[in-house]
Structure 1
Amino acid sequence: MEPNAFDATAGVALLVLMPSSVLFVAAALRRLGIPRWSWSLYLLAVAGVLVLLHQPDAVRYPVDDPDPWSDWYQFIGLGLGRIGVGVNAVAAAVWIAVRRKGYHERLPRRETRLVAAAYGVMAIATALPATWWAIGLGVVPLLAELPLVVTAAAVLTWSLVLRARRLRSAAEDDRPSIETTWPADSVVAVWLVGALAVGPLFAGSGRPDASLVPQPDAAVTATPRSTPDPEWPGPTPVTTTTLDGAAVESGTRSLLEDTVRWAGPLDDLSSPTPASAEPPPVVLTEQRCDAGRRWSGSLVLPTVRPQDLAPRVRSGWESAGYAAVDRAMGTDLVMPVRDDAAVERMRLGGGADGVHVTVESFCVPA
């Protein structure tokens, strides 16, 4: 699995799903009507879970990735998720201890068992991703998680259908008089948490694999020619090209297309959860210049980690025969060091919407 996607998916499992599991267990026990004193056993069991959650502290799934934030969401998810487990368990037990007797709608035995079964299956579904992560298997496969969520939703739906039929056939006086948010709150909880449990798994499963991080093509990097000026030890860019007009146009287009490929996976910055974005289209604009015509183009590469994407693009440009010659206001100026290049200058910078790329070809006779 791609390391960044793995980190985000594992973070959701630890931060959101793991604390949700103790609430589903509490909801199932509440429907089964266990004695109030037995909730102390529930709290004791949760305390044991918290002790076990100290064991995976060292599990970080290291990959050959220089990014120091490659496990940030796992670190935050595990730390805050453990707090959430404890807080949710105590809050559920206290609510049971102080609730009014007969507060919730009482169901027949069959419907009660179905509702408790739905909550129980959902508790397993929300605990499974964190368990899978903790024992070293990485992100749980979609085919292991999806059946549990679907089963929980189906069993809850079955119980609500039986309830609706029973109420329709019951006399007006026999219908429940207690007005609560149930069953709407249960339906929302099961479907919302189920979507969070299943949705991120479409990005993949298993352990992180550094080989899935897009790398620039392993081309031979051109050796920059040194300038005789001792004040500038960097590469000396070329100012002319040996290519004709058609080759310059196609070369400029190809460089922009390769830039998108070198950038790797892009992020949908408008999505509240991690989601991939479609690559931007490559469009060239023909312009007049002193000697004839040239072509220019620009790209916006949306990403939440520009510090990872920009180096991949620069490395790809270097492998294609270009080198950074200047940097100002956070923008790199990149120019060719070979006379068979199509692009005369490129700029690589950043903004709130991602990494910005602009290219301008050599001016060639019309």
Structure 2
Amino acid sequence: MDPNAFDSVAGVGLLLLMPVSVLFVAAALRRLAVPRWSWVFYLLGVAGVLVLLHGAGHTRYEVEDHSHFGWHFGQFVGLGLGRIGVGVNAVVATAWIVFRSPRADEVLPRRETRLVVASYLTMALAAALPATWWAVGLGIVPIAVELPVVAVGLSFLTVAVWLRERRVRRAGEVRQQPESTWPLGAVVAIAVVGSLAVGPLLTGSGLPDGSVGPAPDVAVTAAPTTDPDWPGPVPTTTTTLDADAIEADTRSLLEDTVRWAGPLDDLSSPTPAAARPPQDLAPRVQAGWDAAGYAAVDRAMGTDLVMPLRGDAAVERMRLGGGPGGVHVDVESFCTGT
């Protein structure tokens, strides 16, 4: 997963969803009408969660590619502020329950109450799951795991609201007073939290991968050729760059080549990640050069000859070969008269 996308998704889970999870637990306890003294155990449970989150504050996801500057800022700010949000929400919810009249709530039949409680607890799990997945070192939770949990919580609430509406119509009961937000408040809350829990996961899941970076900004379409003996792109043999620009752009392309290939093993980490199975990385390098304005114009003995298609290119020719054993690159920049 791209490190910047990883940071954004983790930040949402830690800063927004994690504090919301304690509110759903509080809402479930309110619907169960537990004794007010039992809310002490709720606060103790939240305190235990904060202790665990304090330990998670030492979690680190190292990315070797330093071009993703500041990519880890969101997740650790989210963890710090999210922990504050967890504590504040728990205290506010408890105070709200203790000091308000219990008759302010609409009393639901037992079956409807159970469905609403199940919905709230399921959404509490859905809201806490991204932070939990992150804290144990698994990165971003897959959408295939998060989406079913949100769907179950929404299904419980849908059935509860349907039963309530049917009961009201059959019994001819007086509907709730206008100042009450049930069940509209529950529907809106679950819809918003469900969207926040699932939506960001469309960008990916898992751990951040420094080799997954944005493609070069410039994309080039090869001009058609009129030579019947060579149907491919026609390279340019001159450049408009000066010596300093040629040197700088060549170095930049070499650095990008290393990034496009990506490491097979992170040997810089104190606990190196396991190496991936052997793979042919040459196509990834070729795709990067193609997007930078170059193209393969010839191939011999398993090696591609890559040349520029633009007049402001720095590299005159590049030979690219590779396979499961690695990538081999031989680069020649343009020469100048200075």
Q: TM-score, normalised by structure 1?
A: 0.60
Identity of aligned residues (%): 55
What's the counterpart of residue 247 of structure 1? none
The alignment partner of 1:140 has SS state of coil
Sort the Cα spacing of 1:342 and 1:135 in 2 relative to 1 into closer, same or farther, 3 A.
Answer: closer
Partner of 1:58: 58
Q: Report which stretch shifted further, 67-76 or 129-138.
A: 67-76
Instruction: State the partner residue of 2:35.
Output: 35
- 1:343 partnered with 2:311: yes
2:208 alignment counterpart? 208
- Could you report, residue by residue, the CA deviation over 1:264-289 in whole angstroms, capped at 9, with x for unpaired residues? 9xxxxxxxxxxxxxxxxxxxxxxxxx
Structure 1 residue 25, shift from structure 2 partner: 0.3
Q: 1: CA distance between counterparts of 2:161 and 2:114? A: 12
| CA distance, structure 1, for counterparts of residue 145 and residue 110 of structure 2 | 30
1:119-148 deviation per Cα after TM superposition (whole angstroms, max 9, x unaligned): 000000000110000000000011100001
Find out whether 1:109 has 2:110 as its counterpart.
yes
Q: How far did residue 41 of structure 1 move?
A: 0.6
* Kept after mapping to 1: 8 A contact 2:119/2:154: yes
Post-superposition Cα deviations, 1:188-222, rounded to whole Å, max 9, x if no partner, equal 000011000000111111101112114669xxxx9
| Alpha-carbon distance, 1:176 to partner | 5.0
What is the aligned partner in structure 2 of residue 258 from structure 1?
none
Partner of 1:6: 6
Are 2:46 and 1:78 aligned?
Answer: no
Quote the Cα distance in structure 2 between the aligned partners of 1:48 and 1:210.
Answer: 34
Report the CA distance between 1:101 and its aligned residue. 2.5
Q: Provide the secondary structure at the position in 1 that maps to 2:211.
A: helix
Taking the aligned partners of 2:96 and 2:245, their CA distance within structure 1 comes to: 70
Give the 5 Å matches for 1:304-343: 316=292, 342-343=310-311
Distance in 1 (alpha carbons) for counterparts of 2:120 and 2:210: 38
Contact 1:104 1:178 in 2 (8 A): no
Cα deviation, residue 225, structure 1: 6.9
Aligned-partner residue type, residue 343 of structure 1: G
**Superposed displacement of residue 31, structure 1:** 0.2
Asked whether the 8 Å contact 2:123–2:153 carries over to 1, the reply is: yes
| Structure ranking higher in strand proportion | 1
User: What SS does structure 2 have at the residue aligned with 1:211?
Assistant: coil
Counterpart position of 2:143: 142
Matched, 1:183 2:183: yes
Query: Aligned pair in 2 of structure 1 residues 236, 168: CA closer, same or farther (>3 Å)?
Result: closer
Change (3 A) 1:78 1:341: same
What amino acid sits opposite 2:9 in the alignment? T
* Alpha-carbon distance in structure 1 between the residues aligned to 2:102 and 2:190: 25
Displacement after TM superposition at 1:342 (Å): 3.9
Q: Unaligned regions of 5+ residues in structure 1, if any?
A: 227-233, 238-260, 265-311, 321-339, 346-366
Q: Secondary structure at 2:140's aligned position in 1?
A: coil
Equivalent in the alignment of 1:277:
none
| AA aligned opposite 1:131 | T
3-state secondary structure, aligned to 2:102: coil
Residue 3 of structure 2 aligns with an amino acid whose one-letter code is P
Give 1:291's aligned residue: none
Amino acid at match of 1:57: G
Q: Secondary structure at the match of 1:53?
A: helix
Question: Who is 2:152 aligned against?
Answer: 151
Q: Deviations over 1:87-143 (max 9, x none)?
A: 100000000010012101000010001000000000000001100000000000111
Aligned partner of 1:283 in structure 2 is none
What is the deviation of 1:10?
0.5
Name the CA distance, whole Å, in 2 between partners of 1:225 and 1:211: 31
Partner of 1:241: none
Q: Deviations over 1:6-49 (max 9, x none)?
A: 11000100001000100000000000000000001101100110
Q: Is contact 2:65–2:211 with CA below 8 Å preserved after alignment?
A: no
AA aligned to 2:16 is V
Q: 1:146 to 1:344 in 2, by over 3 A?
A: closer
Equivalence map 1:355-366=2 (5 Å):
none
Instruction: Check conservation: 1:138, 1:207, Cα contact below 8 A.
Output: yes
Q: What one-letter code is carried by the residue in structure 1 that aligns with 2:29? A: L
Find the counterpart in structure 1 of residue 298 from structure 2.
none
Q: Deviations over 1:315-347 (max 9, x none)?
A: 957x89xxxxxxxxxxxxxxxxxxx874359xx
How far apart are residue 236 of structure 1 and its match?
Answer: 7.9
Whether the aligned pair in 2 keeps the contact of 1:25 and 1:123 (CA below 8 Å) is yes
5+ long unaligned stretches in structure 2: 219-238, 248-255, 260-287, 296-307, 314-338
